[in-house]
A and B are shown apart, each in its own frame.
Chain A
Amino acid sequence: MSAHEDFESLAALEAIGAVSEDEQAALYAHLDTCAECNEVRDGYQEAATAFALALDPVMPPEEARGAIMGAVMQDDFTERR
């Protein structure tokens, strides 16, 4: 298997959180230098979203919206990255 195929396999598993810290570090180091594998990785990240999108949506409790808006309005803008 080529290096790209190895990293593609890692990217597939990383998208669902199934890689070890060492595997993740190796993948990220490779992604820093490889546009092709970045594209593959983005595709897997998008694909993993299917597990969430397949669920029936559930409206959060009414109070959640107010609590979240309150937290954000009070957030110090300078903390934002």
Chain B
Amino acid sequence: MNQSVETTPLLPAVAQGDTTAFQELYDRHSAVLYALLLRILTKPEDAQEALQETFVQAWRSASAFDAARGSEIAWLVSIARSRGIDRLRSRRVRGERENEAGREISIRTGTVENTTGADHAIASQERVAVRSALDELPPPQRVALELAYFEGLSQSEIAARTGEPLGTIKTRMQLGMKKLRERLQASR
């Protein structure tokens, strides 16, 4: 089993109700999705519930996946991020205090126990490539993008958080995404 390495997409089989393919889908991608949900929500119990919502949604709407438009992991990550941000926003509405110190801790302690050595090496290579692309972004651009992606903040909220004008934030985010897209497309 591997994590997020693009091999043959499983979602077309899942769309046909193939539960074995669904189990393989879970084994292939759950650690990446859970890491993302932990990064967004920080609380393991919340992340686990959001993970379940993500896979149930993937099961129900697998037929909407179009391999010509993007990768399987991108499709799943998009669902997981939406579920995570929705849950984060409802927590904010309920007035729960965010543990901002905890949010800064990056999740780097987990292990992927059920990958083979070779598959893990490929997954690690992919991780190195995307980290390299992110590391090339000027820090102010990366910070603004991460505040939107992981915390679900709007452009105005990011401007308020960073003390920068709204127009600056908007331009910064657009430039950052453009550079990231070009860098990743060039590395493929």
Query: Which A residues are within 8 Å of any B CB, using their own CB?
Result: 9, 12-13, 15-18, 20, 38, 42-61, 64-65, 67-69, 71-73, 75, 77, 79-81
Interface string of B118-136 (1 = CB under 8 A from A): 0000010011001101100
Q: Which residues of B contact A48 (CB under 8 A)?
A: 74, 77-78, 149, 177, 180
Complex Cα distance, B17 from A44, in Å, reads 30
**Which residues from B are CB-within-8-Å of A61?**
44, 48
- Cβ-defined partner of A57 (8 Å) among B123, B174, B184: B123
Chain B residues touching A, majority SS = helix
Q: Which chain A residues border B173 with CB–CB below 8 Å?
A: 12-13, 16, 18
Contacts of A47 in B (CB 8 A): 177, 180-181, 184-185
A38: B residues at CB distance < 8 A = 69
B110 touches A77 (CB 8 A): no
Shortest Cβ gap from A62 to chain B (Å): 10
Write the residues of chain B forming the contact surface with A, with a CB cutoff of 8 angstroms: 3-4, 17, 19, 22-23, 26, 30-36, 38-39, 44, 47-48, 51-52, 55-56, 59-64, 69-71, 73-74, 77-78, 80-82, 85, 106-114, 123, 126-127, 130-131, 133-134, 145-146, 148-150, 152-155, 158, 170, 173-174, 177-178, 180-181, 184-185
For the A-B complex, the count of residue pairs with Cβ-Cβ distances under 8 Å equals: 177
Chain A residues with CB under 8 Å of B127's CB are 53-54, 56
A-B contact pairs, 23 of them (CB 8 A): A13-B173, A13-B174, A17-B85, A44-B177, A45-B78, A48-B177, A51-B36, A56-B107, A56-B108, A56-B127, A57-B32, A57-B123, A58-B111, A60-B47, A60-B48, A64-B34, A65-B30, A67-B52, A68-B51, A68-B56, A69-B26, A75-B56, A75-B60
Interface secondary structure of A, over-half rule: helix
Q: Judging by beta carbons under 8 Å apart, are B23 and A52 in contact? A: no
| Chain A neighbourhood of B78, CB < 8 A | 45, 48-49
Chain B, Cβ-Cβ closest to A77: B17
Which A residue sits closest to B73, measured CB to CB? A49
- In the bound complex, what is the Cα–Cα distance between A68 and B80 (angstroms)? 14
- Known contacts: A43-B181, A45-B70, A59-B113. The answer to whether A71 contacts B56 by CB under 8 A is yes
Residues of B within 8 A of A16 (CB): 145, 148-149, 173, 177
Q: Which of B35, B64, B177, B178 is A58 in contact with, Cβ under 8 Å?
A: B35
Which residues of chain B have C-beta atoms less than 8 A from A50's C-beta?
A: 130, 133-134, 180, 184
